[in-house]
Chain A
């Protein structure tokens, strides 16, 4: 409420400036994972408030919108296989302290055409600009090989992707983008960042949190496995013995 009030008070000032303002939103603040969850389509939309009115001023180049959806970061160990004595074995490894578990970037134009490498690195825009924070002090060439390996693996499992031109901008004012969240994402706090970029400079940025969690039966099972693992194990064994016995008993009647 206070934020809104502040925005309202600041509105004349903001409008007076040359910088446009971003008003973003997401279709879902919470995603509940239930038994039929096969992934979710997240709609990210909003408006660009241009200085001095809803129209962009003549002579001004059109602005670009970039949307980044990130999953909770996780610490991972990446191993690399090499051929040793005729067979492929895990030979080398690198630890990353904070690789995002999910990363999707949607933009109105290919990201490399919108901003330069430095800006991409600052805002983590694009798969080649992720801050993975490797924990081992390997030589840069080896490090780059591991980075590429990790990103490639995540990309092919659908957990990392770039969607250039996935953001639609209508009349330079309204924008919308669809980001698919696959079923195999981990649960946790996700963030949806929206960037308004013109002339290679980030003019405005906004973040929205998205909470992805298991619900109902799925949540109950996951909790039981974690908290009362002995009972859970007993239940699993009992279930298998019971089903096996029941099948035998039923079968014998026919």
Chain B
């Protein structure tokens, strides 16, 4: 079923887009990632102009995280206090990110910077999660009593001044730590067009030392607000938000997010982390190959 997209100015198969949204929504519900790191590249492969793809997938991320946030709120899995601090940092970061974006765009190096950032970050985080989840699985397989995960934050976090209590997370740490974390993900949201969940989740687990049961919900909570801000920013500056494309993606992804949240409740968390690690690494490898292999298109055209 072909449908014409008014902003992207081309026609797409509506069913393909809805299915794409469904798949990405499934992942977002399961792992608490927004899924932007999959949607944007897939849309570009399908032939949607990159700016429209990034702008419209931001609103899809919003939709997918809303249903996820509600699902996790009911399970008491959101630390609203921590989330608020993260959002404050995220909004500041997105402003800085927008400045950086314009700077890189004018020199024509934005694509390369995006790709390198993806490879470095996805590679590092994927590798970390892979080794951690693998040892957790082996420990539980061998029947040995699971080693109590050191629920402690990183020494660097402990060194920061000013301390707040985050009751839901059971933490007594400086709010500067989540603020800086939110700031960093805010920059990435604008630069990479992603929610930043794949950075947030490991950082919350391994740097802040938050318990796994609130990590997914809290990261979705932060992603919800930061992606909504990103959609607004795109609508005002690039005017590239295609509401028809977003609606198609949303139709699939909101359903997928609900399904994913159900799966996540049944699956063992270490297996979920292993699956996410493998997926993150696959995306990193694919982007790395894109950098070193001779690209299909040597030339690119942009309106000037």
Contacts and interface: CB of A to CB of B under 8 A. Distances in A.
Interface centre among A34, A152, A232 (most CB of B within 10 A): A232
B235 A233 contact: yes
Contacts of A236: 59, 231, 235, 241, 243, 246
A89 B290 CA distance: 11
A241 interface: yes
Given A35-B4, A153-B299, A221-B6, A237 B254 contact: no
A217 B250 CA distance: 19
Contacts of A233: 231-232, 234-236, 241
Interface residues of B, number: 55
Contacts of A214: 6
A146 B67 CA distance: 48
A34 B4 contact: yes
Interface stretch (B107-115, B126-134, B189-197, B204-212): B107-115
A221 to B, nearest CB: 4
Interface in B55-71: 59-60, 62-67, 70-71
B169 interface: no
B121 interface: no
A157 to B, nearest CB: 8
Given A75-B304, A88-B291, A244 B109 contact: no
A111 B20 CA distance: 44
A72 B227 CA distance: 35
A60 interface: no
Interface stretch (A45-53, A167-175, A183-191, A196-204): A183-191
B67 A239 contact: no
B7 A221 contact: yes
A34 B4 CA distance: 7
A247 B11 contact: no
Contact of A221 (B64, B67, B243, B303): B243
Nearest to B297: A153
A79 B11 contact: no
A137 B204 CA distance: 53
Nearest to A135: B304
Interface centre among A34, A146, A183, A214 (most CB of B within 10 A): A183
B239 interface: yes
Contacts of B301: 76-78, 150, 153-154
Contacts of A39: 11
Nearest to B69: A244
B159 interface: no
24 contacts: A37-B11, A75-B304, A76-B301, A87-B112, A149-B299, A153-B299, A154-B301, A183-B4, A184-B47, A221-B243, A229-B236, A233-B236, A234-B232, A239-B63, A239-B250, A240-B63, A241-B66, A243-B254, A244-B64, A244-B67, A244-B70, A244-B250, A244-B254, A245-B66
